[in-house]
Each structure stands twice: as structure tokens, then as C-alpha cells.
Amino acid sequence: MTETHPAEPGRRERKRLQQLDHLADTAWALFEAEGFDAVTMERIADAADVAKGTLYKHFPVKEALLRHRFHRELHAAGPSIQAALGAEAPGPARLACFFRLQAQWCERHRSYLLPYVRFRLADPQLATEGRERSGMDRIFAELIAQGQAAGAFRADIPAPLLAGYLQFAHLATLVRWLTVEGLSLEEQLGGMLELVCNGMGARS
């Protein structure tokens, strides 16, 4: 996948981002030590040594702190993800590789994912929040476009539209894994991808 390199932020923006990272890292340490449900916003503000108003200005709820942490992890993992994807053929194999990597990440963060997903689904700014988006839609669209260019996927439907369909299927699979005991997310995502790629036609 290609990467864009935004302009370096100015001093004020760097300080703001440093504060966001500090708040998110403080919250994460508390979540890991005491459990997500047990930690209050007031506890986070106290541990981070900031006023409650400062915390709420940047993060209105605990789940927003998770969002910042998760999106930063995805960004940091970008180079290793790119390397793994580049070793696979464009099309289903490359998408399957991405979902395998995601399943491994989700397994490590399972205890936080259900409140995070609920928060994201309830967020009225989900479609327009820009910087706070995870970039998953762009990843899907680019992987699909690569598959289309290689002749592995149909090209009569725009890649962003196909990516939207894939996102909904992906979300449904993730929620099912989070709410049904005993499922393997890697297997569930693999089955979902096979269905999306091959359609619902009967097998001979």
C-alpha cells in the first residue's frame, strides 16, 4: 500500500499530541492494572495529574481513550503490516493476511473491544471525524483496488464501495466473536472473507 507523509505538525500541535498520548497511556496503564470497568475518568485525570476539565476536553468518555490508543498502535504497526502484505499476492491472499494479523491483535485486546465497538457505532462523527478514523476503510479499499488491478476481483464496482460492504461484514464477524464464546476469530474472519470473495452461490 502507498503511504502519505503529512506535513510535520507545529510546536503547539506537537504539544497537544503529546498530551493526548500521555492521557491515553495513563488510562491504558490503569485499565491494565485495575480493569476497564473499574477505572473512572476522575481516576484517570488524577493519575495523569491534569484537571478533569482538561481530560474531558480531549476525551469525553473512557472509550475515546481506547480509540486514541488503538489508532496509534495501528499507525505504528504500519511498516510491519506493509511488509507482511507485500509478501502475498494481490487479492484474496493479501486480504486474508491482513485479517490474520488483525485477529492476532484482537485476541490481545479482546477485553476492551466490545466497549470500543459500541462506542464507535454510537459515535455520530464516525463518518466525518477525519484524524480520529482508524483508516480501516482506506486499507480495505486499497487492498481491493490492488486485487482489481491484478484481475483477482471484479472491477465494475468501485473499490471504496466494495470496501464499505467488506467493512460491514467484518464488523458483524467481530461482534459475533465478541459475544459468542468458543469462536476463533481467525477462523471466523477467514470464513467471512471466503463468503465475500466467492459469493453465496451453491457449491457443485
User: Which residue in the block uniquely carries the three cell numbers 467484518?
Assistant: 170
Query: Measured between alpha carbons, how far is 113 from 161 in angstroms, rounded to an integer?
Result: 26
- What pLDDT was estimated at residue 135? 79
- What pLDDT was estimated at residue 10? 85
Give the predicted TM-score (pTM) of the model. 0.83
- In this structure, whether the domain defined by 62-198 belongs to CATH 1.10.357.10 is answered with yes
- As to burial, measured by CB atoms within 10 angstroms (0-12 exposed, 13-18 middle, 19+ buried), residue 128 is exposed
Query: Measured between alpha carbons, how far is 124 from 92 in angstroms, rounded to an integer?
Result: 32
Q: What is the CATH number of domain 10-60?
A: 1.10.10.60
Segment 155-187, tens digit of pLDDT: 999 999 999 999 999 999 999 999 999 999 999
pLDDT at residue 129 greater than cutoff 50: no
Where do the structural domains in the chain lie, given as residue ranges? Answer: 10-60, 62-198
